[in-house]
Amino acid sequence: MALTMTECKANLYDSLEKEGQSIKHFILTADEKTIKSRIANDTDRMKDLSLDWLKDNLSFLDKNFPTAIRIKTDYRNKDDIVEEMLKEIATKEN
């Protein structure tokens, strides 16, 4: 399941939020062109299906998680992205 599925949002995210759990929700994102390129180069993915669902998935994330911390990953390495996430985790809630 992914957070772009209503069932996962309800069973995982909404459930934790309802219990009063503190959640720092990160969405790793990139320009649509970059995402499409990553899908095309991924050997473990159903490419056609992933491309077909891309716009719907991006729309779902925008609609259902407006307060998530979005981190752009274009032209960045994993270490840089992790460092940004760790800094966000270390900060107090707004």
Question: Contact at 8 Å (CB) between 81 and 73?
Answer: yes
Residue 69 lies in a domain: yes
Rounded to 10 degrees, the C-alpha dihedral 22/12/60/79 comes to: 60
pLDDT over 90, % of the chain:
60
pLDDT value for 1: 42
Parent domain of 85: 6-90
Instruction: Give the chain's domain count.
Output: 1
Residue 1 lies in a domain: no
Model pTM score = 0.80
- Interval 62-94: pLDDT, tens: 999 999 999 999 999 999 999 999 999 998 654
